[in-house]
Amino acid sequence: MSENKFNDFPEEGAALPPEGEAPAPLSGEEWERLRSLLLGREIAAIRALRERLDNHDLHARELSEVVAEAILLRTQKDQTIEKVLQPTVEEIFQNNLRRNPHQVVNHLFPLMGPAIRRSITETFRSMMQSFSRTLEMSFSWRGLQWRLEAMRTGRSFSDIVMIHTLLYRVEQVFLIHTETGIVLDYAENEGIKSQDADLVSAMLTAVQDFVKDCFAGGGQAAALESLQMGDLTILVERTPQAYIACVVRGTPPADFAGQINTSLELIILECAEEFKQFAADGDSGPFKKIRRHLLDCLDARYIEEKRKAPFFIRYLPAALLLFLVIAFGGLKYQQYKYESMVEELGRQPGVVITAAEPSLLGSWRLSCLRDDLAVDPSNFLVEAGMAQNRFHIDVYSYISLDGDIVKRRVEEAIKPPPGVRMSFSDEHVLRLSGDAPLGWIIATREKALTTPGVKDVDTSLLKDPLAQELNQLMARIDGTIIYFPLNKDLPETESAPKLIEAVDNIVALEKLAANMGMGITVTIYGHADAIGNEKYNYDLSQARAKTVAAMLYARGSSVPISTYGMGADFAAYEDGKPIADPGSRKIILKVHLARLAAMEQWNP
C-alpha cells in the first residue's frame, strides 16, 4: 500500500471492499495529514493572527502610523480628547515645573520677556505722564483750588483733575453679535476697572428687546443708539452682523459716531468668513485678530491749557528721569567694574571662586578656595581698586594643581641650582635640564615625585660634569679580579700592580663621590680552589678578602667594606672531582653607589 492513502485512488479493475464492510480506520498521522490538506491555509492564517495579536511592538508601530489622524478626527467630532488629555498635560507640566523650574523659565522667557518689558515701558510712560500732569496742576493756582475741592468733597485729587480737564474718554468698547448677543471681543482703557463683558452684553440685549417690545411693537424699526447712565453714555453703532457698544465718559464730539462706524465696517469686511463660521460653531476665537480696530475706538480728549507751566515744572520729569538714568547707569557701571575684578581674581592661579553674591548697593560677598602659594584675594581686590568695605571674603585652604602653582611648589621643595631650568607640561610632567650634581639629581627626583601635582619627573636632560669620570672609575673597579698563590692569603707578585691600581681607584672614587654628595660601598668576595677540606677553604677565602680590605684602610680610605669568604663554592671541578685550579684562588671587587637604584633610573 502507498504511504499516502489519500493520494492513491483504486486502479481500474481493482477489487473494492465488500459491500457493507467498514473501511480500515485512519491512524493519528493520517488524520494530521488530512487536516493539513483540508485546513492548512486556515491554520496558518490563525497562527499568523495569533502572533500579530501577541506582538506588542507591532501594535505600537501600527498605532503610531494612525494616531495623529485619529486625534484629528476625534477633535473635529467633539472635545473629548481635550478633556481627557488636559489633566495629564497639566500634571506633566506641574511635575516638570517642580523638578526643573529653571528650565521651564528659560523656555518661557523668550515669550514673556518682551511682553513684560513692553508692559513695564507702557506703565512707566503712563505714570510719568500722570505724574507730570498732576505736578503741573499742583503748582498752579487752579491746581490749589482743585486740591481744596478734593479735601472738601473727600474725593482723590486725580479724580478732581479729571473732572475739570476731561472732555470725553472712551472707557470700554464691546463687539457684540447682533443675532445672539454674544460678545465677540472687547477692549478697555488703561486704568479702568473692567466690567463683566457678558453682563454688559446681556443688559444691552435686554434693553434693546424692551425698546422693541414697548415702542416698536416687536418690529425691527426701533434700534437702541445710545443709553445715558449718570456721567456715562453708551453709544451703539450696528450692522446686521454685529454692533459696537462704546462706554463713554463725558461728551464725545459729533464725528465720534462716524469713527465708530468706520471701525465697524472694517471689522465686517475683514471678518466676513469668521461671521459665517461663528453662525455654525459659535467660536469667537478668530475675532481676536480685530482687537486693533477696537483699540482705535479708545479715544480720550482733555481741555488744553493755554498757559504753559513754569519752566522747572515742565522739565522736572525729564530731569528726574535723567537723574534716575545716570544713577542707575553709575550703579551698573560700578557693578560691572567690581564683577570684572571678581572674575579676574577667579582667573588667578591657585584661586577658585565658589560663591559670589553682589548686593544692590554694589558690595560683594565672596567665598573662595586658595592655595598657600597663590595671591591673597583681599590684597588683590584692594590693589585692583575695590574698597575694603565693598567686599567680605571667606577663604578656605586647598592644594591647587594649576601648572604655575605646582611649578612654584616644586621650586620651593627642590631649590634648583643656578644652572638648572624647569618646565611643567599640561600632563603634569616636570622637566629639568642643565648641569647639576648627581646626588642632587637623585634626591630631587624623589622629592619632586612626592610633591602634589607632579605625576612624573623627566631628568634626561640633566647632566653632572663629574658623572662621566665617576662612571669610568666605577667601570675600572667593578669586577676587578686579583689572584693568590696556593694556600696563601697574599696576592701573587704578578697581581700586585693590579691590586694597587684598584685600591688607588677606590680611593679616588671615594673622594669624587664625596664631592658629588654621594657615598660608595665596597664588597670583596674571597674564593679558594676545591683542594682541601671545606672549613679550611672558607677560612682561606675570608683571609684573602680581609687582606685586600686591610690594604684599603692602610691607604687612608674610610669607605664601608664588606668581606665575604665564599670558600670553594665557585671552584672548578673536572669529571666531578676537585682540581687545583689557579683561577679559583682569587678575590673579586664590587663597588656600589649609596643609591644605586636611583642611579640606574637616572642613567640606565
pLDDT at 201 over 80: no
The C-alpha cell 700586585 sits at 496
DSSP designation for 583:
G
Distance of CA 582 to the CA centre of its chain: 82
C-beta pairs of 262-270 under 8 Å, 24+ apart in sequence: 263/293, 263/294, 263/296, 263/297, 264/237, 264/238, 264/239, 265/239, 266/290, 266/293, 267/175, 267/242, 267/293, 268/239, 268/241, 268/242
pLDDT above 70: residue 161: no
Identify whether the C-beta of residue 589 lies closer than 8 Å to the C-beta of residue 549. Answer: no
Of residues 276 and 9, the one with the higher pLDDT is: 276
What cell numbers appear for 432 in the block?
Answer: 629639568
E strand or H helix that includes residue 520: strand 520-526
Say which residue, 591 or 132, is predicted with more confidence.
591
Quick one: cell of 108? Answer: 518661557
The residue ranking higher by pLDDT, 436 or 78, is 436
* Three-state secondary-structure class, residue 470: helix
Q: Is the pLDDT of residue 42 over 50?
A: yes
| Neighbour tally for 103: CB within 10 Å | 11
pLDDT at position 142, please? 65
Give the confidence band of 523 by pLDDT, cuts at 50, 70, 90: very high
Give the chain's domains with CATH numbers. Answer: 53-99 (no CATH), 140-302 (3.30.450.30), 313-397 (3.30.300), 403-463 (3.30.1340), 467-602 (3.30.1330.60)
Q: What is the pLDDT of residue 477?
A: 85
Per-residue DSSP letters for 230-253? TTEEEEEEE-SSEEEEEEEEE---
Q: What is the pLDDT of residues 349-393, one digit of tens each?
A: 888 888 888 776 667 788 888 888 888 888 888 888 877 777 888
Those residues with Cβ within 8 angstroms of residue 523's Cβ, 6 or more apart along the chain or in another chain? 561, 562, 563, 564, 589, 590, 591, 592
Asked if residues 334 and 361 have their Cβ atoms less than 8 Å apart, the reply is no
Are the C-beta atoms of 299 and 259 separated by less than 8 Å?
Answer: yes
Mind listing the pLDDT tens digit for each residue in 415-438?
A: 788 878 888 777 778 888 888 776
